[in-house]
Each structure stands twice: as C-alpha cells, then as structure tokens.
Amino acid sequence: MQFYFLKILLTLLEFYFCLTFEQYILNCTLVSTMSKNLRSLSGRKGMEENLFEHLSALEAKEGAFDPTEVQSLADKYLVGTSTVHGAASFYDFLNPAKSGKKVFSCSGSACQLSGKQAEVDNKLGKHFEKSEIGEVYCLGRCHETAAFHLNGHNYSGVAIDHLEQLLSGEKSVLPDTYPAIALGAGWLTSAEEGPEHYLDALKVAVQSDRNQLLEEVHRSGIRGRGGAGFPLGIKLAAVLKEKADRKYIVCNADEGDPGAFSDRYLLEEKPYLVLFGMAYAGILTGATEGVLYIRAEYPEAIEICKKAALVVNALFPLPSSTGEQVDFKIYVVKAQGAYICGEETALLSSLEGLRPEVRTRPPFPVQYGLFGKPTAVNNVETLANLYPIFKRGGAAFKGVGTERSSGTKLLSLDSHFNRPGLYEVDMGTPLQTVIEELGGGMKQPVKAYHIGGPLGGLVPAFKTTELTIDFESFASNSFLLGHASILSIPASYPLIRYLEHLFAFTAHESCGKCFPCRIGSTRGKELLQKAQDNQLKIDRELWTDLLETLEKGSLCALGGGLPLPVKNALSYFPEELNAYFK
C-alpha cells in the first residue's frame, strides 16, 4: 500500500517541479537524449581510446582529482567536468574519498561467514594504520577465506601468517590451489586443449555459414549462466539481425557475487576457452570487436587474459569461404570496483566512461548497446560453452542436463565444505550429491545455504534433498540458481547478522538510480543493526512495506532481489528471528 502511495507522491513531485505535463515529458526525453549524446561523444573514439580507461588512470591526490586532468579529459571527449568527475568518483578504487589505502580486507560473504576475518583485520592492523586498510567485497577466495589484497595480489588461507614476508618482498605470490573436479560431461574443467586447438577451430568457424553456426547454438538449448538464464541463441540471433557499422561482443567478467569464483577459474585456467567463445560469437553475429570486462579484484585473471588476447588478436583477419576478410579484436578492460557493473546496462555505461547507473530497457543492448551499437553481453561461463557446442554439436550439448537446462554448470563451494573448491556437474544433478559426494559434507553443522549470490534464495539445510542443479528446480521452489555459488551458513552464525550483511552489501553497491534501493537498503541495514543492539524491535508492517517497496519498485535485481533471501530467512527460521520483531 505504502509503495503505491510513494509512487504517486514521486509523480506528483515530478509534476510540481516541472509545472506542466508537457514539461514533465520534455524532462524525461531530455535526460534520455542527453545520455544518448554523451554515449555517442564517448563512442567517437571507440574502444581504441576509451574514456573509461583514461578515467582509470586519474590519480587522486590529497582526497581530490587533479582539476587540470579532469578538465583535459572533459575537453578531449567534449563532455562536462561533472561527467568525468561523476563517473570516476563512483568506483571504489578511484573514489578520492577512499584513496590512500594500502591493503584491502575482504568483506565478502564467505569471509564474513568463516569467522576468520576479524583475525585478519587484527593482524593487518599491526602493520598498517586504520586509514590505510580498505574493504573490498569478495576477492573470489571463498574456498579458503581469510582473504586480503596487497600490492596487486590476492591472498587467503594461511597467507595472513606470512604478512611480514609478503611486506618485505621475500614472497610476492603464494599459490592458490583448490580442486577443480567434474562429475559428468566435464566440458569446462577438462584439461585445457592448448591455444592451437581453439585457433584452428576459429579458422574453421570463419569458413562456415553464420546461420548454420547459429542453428547449432539454438539446438544446444544453452541458457545464459550469468543469472537470468536467457537463451544464448536468441541473443546472438538478435545481434546478427541488426544492421550497423559496428557491433560488439561484451564478456561480462565482473563476477561480483560474493561466494562465486567460477568465472575467475575460467579466466585464469581456461583463458582460450573464454576468448574462443567471444571470437566465435563475433564471427557468428558479424561483430568485429570484443570487450572482456574483468573486475579489478581479479588481478591475476587480467594479466593472463591480456596475454592470451594478444595471441587470439594476432590471428585475425581470417578469410571466410566467400573470400571476405573476417576481423575480430578483443580488448581486455580492468574494471575499478563496483558490483553494479555486473548488471549489463551499468557495465555498458562503465565502458563508455559514464557513471555506471542501470539503464531502463527497452532499448535492449542487442539493438542499442555499447556506444549505441548492437551488442551481445554475455557471462564468461556462457561464452566458454560455445567451444563444447562447436566441437560436439548442439544436439550432443542438449543431450546433457535436463530438458530446459542443458549442459553443465560450474559451482563454487566455500570453506565450510570438507572439500571446498570448484566443481562442474551436469545440469539436473541433485544438490545433495554436490554437498555430500563432491564437497565431502560439512566441517560443522550448517543451517542454511545461500545459493546463487546475494540475490539468490536462502535454502534451509532440510530442503537440499528437494533440489537439483538446474534453473527450473530452483525457480519452482522459489529459489534462484543464479551463478550457482554455494555459501554455507553455520548453525552457530546469527541469521540477523547475515541479513544485516546483505543489506550492508546492497547499500554499499547500490548505483543510486532508484530510491527504493538507494534509501531502502540503508534503512533496512539500520533497522537490523538497531534490533541487534536492543535499541528497538522491528515493526513488522514497516518491514513488510520496505521489502515490498524494494521488490516492486527497484529498477534492477540488486534492490529487487534483496527481499528473496530475507523472506526465506523469516519464513524458515521464525524461531530465531521472531525475537527481533514486534
């Protein structure tokens, strides 16, 4: 009820400030035209000399960007200084207010749930001033936890006990080891074939008919692995259909879901598999440029992929069967620390050097994507699956998994499992098999699993026998497979604290575009904090309104998805949580 009231109020306010309906419409149109103009101004220089990487090179001194540098970037790209400043200051690793950090402690869910992070912070505190220690949401070391980032490298597990050696330069890198095991087809975790196999495959692909390549993708039934499960064939077909002077394939490697490290695995261990997927999607759709946008929290992945991209790029142009030269160039771009850049429209704005706020759709990226050109944005694992489809054919791919969820799925298991690590299973595999047979059971009693990232459902331990690893099983039980990271919540860990962590994460990562998420996440966090400090008992009606406003009023799934795990917690664990509510 309050949600509708707020919506009406907002519209009235808009009317009040714009005075007339015509001005209201004009206002909306102007905002959209302005962003279109900014997009095409930034697009004049394209990826070759993109504004985002220039922003990334801005250095904050004494808590502010150098105004001369900001002005010269604004002049070069014909945009205002506010556009440059507004974009750069958005990112955790660029924001002047957060400069001066020398080490970053992981605030990701796995590290928090492990109970080891306080000790890490304590030990870091012996070598660094408080102001020098930053926080980062998830370094993808969820299999070991106790993670931190120092001098361009990530560390976890016992590394914190080697801090003095790391600081003295005696050791700069410690091995990151975890099992990567398959149960079933194992297409993504089998031994890397070596670059020459993928390069040969690309030579064959350019000789093939685009529509036949597309037909195989359709036949495979593959659905996107980034969370929403959208059919890849439909997306690629839409880009192929568009007529444009430039088209793009964007690989979304901003794997920000705390608990997930399967994209990191592919980028570090199977870079050619991923790059093949991008180039293949380019050949299929007629896109000539690819962008691999990798989160800054994965420095090793960035280095590995940059080297591999040089090899793949050197192969092009390749002659097609009609004698036409097929070109494709991959740019590997380092992100700058913002979870919301995993959302595809925010990612595109980020690459354009604009403030990475979520955009309304339509228009969809397949028609109006990067710099306004047709663009397929796909997850790392989705694109990595194009090689198995190409090699075995769409029908063989479809033969693995379930009717509507074909192929395999990578899963990330956190440090509470006896055998934490990365596992690949055929879609349709029982969750219990994953927990007991692959993960080897739990080190301590667990009451719930948070599966599919922060916006995924909270699955109580007793429900795990009812689920299988596929989109339908999770959806029909009102959960979400998402990117299929599995975080365990120990029986001893207070759920109220975990809910507060989820609200804090959303408040930190909200892009601020819509008020339910921008304001609601912070208010929710405050309520949960106060309830734990015994300052108040949460009013149930107010809480229900807050969740409903988030769910129905948010522009994207960050705000809109937050209520799912919260509602799961309230309905499955009332005896634990009732005490905090009126």
Ligand X SMILES: Cc1cc2nc3c(=O)[nH]c(=O)nc-3n(C[C@H](O)[C@H](O)[C@H](O)COP(=O)(O)O)c2cc1C
User: What are the residues binding ligand SF4 (CB under 6 A)?
Assistant: 340, 358, 510-514, 517-518, 554-556, 558-559
Residue 73 binds to ligand X (criterion: CB under 6 A): no
Residue among 151, 133, 408, 420 at smallest CA distance from 261: 420
Pick what 254 binds: ligand X, ligand SF4, none; C-beta below 5 to 8 Å, kind-dependent.
ligand X
Please identify, using beta-carbon distances, which residue of 333 and 514 lies nearer to ligand SF4: 514
CA 75, CA 292: separation in Å to the nearest integer? 27
Residue among 167, 166, 169, 143 at smallest CA distance from 156: 143
Smallest distance, ligand X to C-beta of residue 271, A:
17
Pick what 230 binds: ligand X, ligand SF4, none; C-beta below 5 to 8 Å, kind-dependent.
ligand X
Smallest distance, ligand SF4 to C-beta of residue 346, A:
8
CA 296, CA 338: separation in Å to the nearest integer? 9
DSSP string, 461-477: GGGGGG-BSSHHHHHHT
- Name the phi and psi angles at 104, rounded to 5: -125, 130
Coil, helix or strand at residue 151: coil
Helix ranges restricted to H, 440-514: 471-476, 495-509
Please identify, using beta-carbon distances, which residue of 410 and 435 lies nearer to ligand X: 410
Smallest distance, ligand X to C-beta of residue 349, A:
12
Stretch of 38-46, 177-185, 313-321, 555-563 lying at the interface with ligand X (CB under 6 A): 555-563
Pick what 355 binds: ligand SF4, ligand X, none; C-beta below 5 to 8 Å, kind-dependent.
none
CA 142, CA 140: separation in Å to the nearest integer? 5
Please identify, using beta-carbon distances, which residue of 185 and 558 lies nearer to ligand X: 558
Residue among 573, 552, 564, 433 at smallest CA distance from 489: 573
Stretch of 130-138, 253-261, 494-502, 574-582 lying at the interface with ligand X (CB under 6 A): 253-261
Pick what 382 binds: ligand SF4, ligand X, none; C-beta below 5 to 8 Å, kind-dependent.
ligand X
Smallest distance, ligand X to C-beta of residue 454, A:
8
* 8 A C-beta contact, residue 290 and residue 276: no
The 8-class DSSP code of residue 407 comes to S
Coil, helix or strand at residue 209: coil
Residue 377 binds to ligand X (criterion: CB under 6 A): yes
Smallest distance, ligand X to C-beta of residue 375, A:
11
Smallest distance, ligand SF4 to C-beta of residue 350, A:
13
Pick what 228 binds: ligand SF4, ligand X, none; C-beta below 5 to 8 Å, kind-dependent.
ligand X
Residue 563 binds to ligand X (criterion: CB under 6 A): no
Tell me the site size for ligand X, rule CB under 6 A. 21
CA 474, CA 100: separation in Å to the nearest integer? 43
Stretch of 49-57, 304-312, 342-350, 407-415 lying at the interface with ligand X (CB under 6 A): 342-350
For residue 170, give both structure tokens: 């005696």
Smallest distance, ligand X to C-beta of residue 410, A:
12
Residue among 496, 478, 503, 481 at smallest CA distance from 536: 496
Pick what 434 binds: ligand SF4, ligand X, none; C-beta below 5 to 8 Å, kind-dependent.
none
The 8-class DSSP code of residue 580 comes to G
DSSP string, 310-329: HHHHHH-SEE-TTSPEE--E
Smallest distance, ligand SF4 to C-beta of residue 554, A:
4
Pick what 581 binds: ligand SF4, ligand X, none; C-beta below 5 to 8 Å, kind-dependent.
none
x/- string (CB under 6 A) for ligand X, residues 177-216?
A: ----------------------------------------
CA 78, CA 107: separation in Å to the nearest integer? 38
For CA atoms 557, 559, 560, 562, the dihedral sign is: positive
Pick what 517 binds: ligand SF4, ligand X, none; C-beta below 5 to 8 Å, kind-dependent.
ligand SF4
Pick what 513 binds: ligand SF4, ligand X, none; C-beta below 5 to 8 Å, kind-dependent.
ligand SF4
Environment class of residue 403 by beta-carbon count within 10 Å: exposed (0-12), middle (13-18) or buried (19+)? Answer: exposed
Residue among 216, 282, 224, 204 at smallest CA distance from 250: 282
Residue 343 binds to ligand X (criterion: CB under 6 A): yes
Residue 224 binds to ligand X (criterion: CB under 6 A): yes
Residue 255 binds to ligand X (criterion: CB under 6 A): yes
As separate numbers, helices (DSSP H) first and strands (DSSP E) second, the chain gives 26, 18
Please identify, using beta-carbon distances, which residue of 424 and 551 lies nearer to ligand SF4: 551
Residue 488 binds to ligand X (criterion: CB under 6 A): no
Return the ∠ at Cα 40 (arms to 37 and 43), rounded to 5°. 150
Please identify, using beta-carbon distances, which residue of 358 and 484 lies nearer to ligand SF4: 358
* 8 A C-beta contact, residue 254 and residue 294: yes
Smallest distance, ligand X to C-beta of residue 228, A:
5
| Choice from 43, 221, 227, 372 touching ligand X (CB under 6 A) | 227
Stretch of 15-23, 57-65, 377-385, 424-432 lying at the interface with ligand X (CB under 6 A): 377-385
The binding site for ligand X (CB under 6 A) comprises 224-228, 230, 252, 254-256, 340, 342-344, 377-379, 382, 556-558
